[in-house]
């Protein structure tokens, strides 16, 4: 077991039950490394998970406190939890694309609107892979899946004219980024910035699903082929070239520029208490 796993993860959850070659572990490792480099301990973080591959594979892996939300509801739970826990504790989530950008999108928008502190890693396997590989809201155009055998035909959420990150920015998010899981140190650096925002941070990370996406879309389960397919379609922001789907890097950074939800709520409650105390005294 490596140093990070020993320090932060539950031994009984290692090795992961993810399929061989799955890119999920790389994302979790980058996030744990960022946590470590910022000097946070196990008790400083509450780790939430949801449904699907991302939720299932990272569920209860964190040694400290954690919880699992029902599908798409982790952001709503988090807003309540945020009010109950000490302000210095950080909420960190590993969720899937279907959870964040599909069924949970309404809750996600309200978490962004209120700038509630949470660092969300949206682990995107490009569709509903845990249920056999149906298309989802980020499946690239033209890609074959179990439910789009002639190619993905619906408009998705990752287009220049309709990007889910733009919607979240308009809703009030204060930190937004996109990466592919192979981004290594760049991904870790982004996670570090996301964690330092006392507000709503979301990092969208595309990763290879060897079992269903690879088999349906590319006709192979060979991890190296799927990694290459994704890598060839990603480039850092400002270095785009033809055929690039995923522009990687920080899309928006307004970290710590406006009050966090629970901070505002505590202030308001304090103000109301003071008002009634004064009225009672007069």
45-49/90-96 β-pairing? parallel
Q: Measured from the CB atom, is 115 or 125 closer to ligand SF4?
A: 125
How far apart CA 92 and CA 120 sit, in angstroms, is 6
Nearest to 72 by CA among 19, 136, 167: 136
**Given the rule CB under 6 A, which residues bind ligand SF4?**
18-19, 22, 24, 53, 57, 125, 129-130, 209-212
How far apart are CB 76 and ligand SF4 at their closest, in Å?
A: 25
Closest CA to 133 of 59, 219, 61: 219
Rounded least distance, CB 123 to ligand SF4, Å? 8
The percent of the chain in helix, strand and coil, each rounded to the nearest 5, is 40, 20, 40
CB of 116 to ligand SF4, least distance (A): 27
Choice between 35 and 209, CB closer to ligand SF4: 209
13 or 166: whose CB is closer to ligand SF4?
Answer: 13
Which lies closer to ligand SF4 via its Cβ, residue 76 or residue 223? Answer: 223
**From CA 263, how far away is CA 87, in angstroms rounded?**
8
Convert 174-222 into a string of H (helix), E (strand) and C (coil).
CEEEEEEHHHCHHHHHHHHHHHCCCCEEEEEEECCCCCCHHHHHHCCCC
Q: How far is the CB of 115 from ligand SF4 (least distance, A)?
A: 30
Rank residues 197 and 210 by Cβ distance to ligand SF4 and give the closer one. 210
C-beta of 32: minimal distance to ligand SF4 in Å?
Answer: 18
């Amino acid at each position: 077991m490596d140093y990070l796993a020993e320090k932060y993860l539950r031994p009984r959850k290692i090795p992961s039950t993810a399929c061989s070659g799955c890119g999920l572990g790389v994302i979790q490792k980058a996030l744990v490394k960022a946590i470590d480099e910022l000097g946070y301990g196990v008790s400083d973080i509450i780790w939430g998970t949801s449904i699907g591959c991302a939720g299932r594979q990272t569920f209860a892996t964190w040694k400290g406190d954690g919880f699992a939300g029902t599908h798409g509801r982790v952001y709503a739970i988090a807003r309540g939890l945020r009010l109950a826990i000490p302000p210095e504790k950080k909420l960190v989530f590993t969720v899937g694309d279907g959870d964040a950008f599909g069924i949970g999108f309404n809750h996600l928008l309200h978490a962004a609107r209120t700038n509630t502190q949470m660092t969300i890693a949206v682990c995107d396997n490009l569709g509903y892979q845990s249920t056999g590989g149906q298309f989802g809201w980020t499946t690239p155009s033209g890609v074959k899946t179990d439910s789009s055998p002639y190619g993905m035909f619906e408009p998705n959420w990752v287009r220049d004219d309709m990007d889910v990150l733009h919607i979240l920015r308009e809703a009030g998010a204060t930190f937004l980024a996109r990466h592919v899981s192979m981004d290594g140190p760049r991904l870790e650096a982004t996670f570090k910035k996301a964690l330092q925002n006392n507000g709503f941070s979301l990092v969208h990370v595309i990763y290879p699903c060897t079992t269903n996406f690879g088999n349906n879309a590319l006709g192979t389960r060979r991890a190296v082929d799927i990694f290459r397919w994704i890598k060839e379609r990603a480039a850092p922001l400002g270095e785009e070239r033809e055929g690039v789907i995923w522009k990687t890097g920080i899309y928006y950074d307004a970290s710590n520029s406006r009050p966090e939800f629970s901070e505002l709520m505590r202030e308001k409650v304090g103000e109301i208490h003071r008002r009634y105390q004064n009225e009672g005294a007069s």
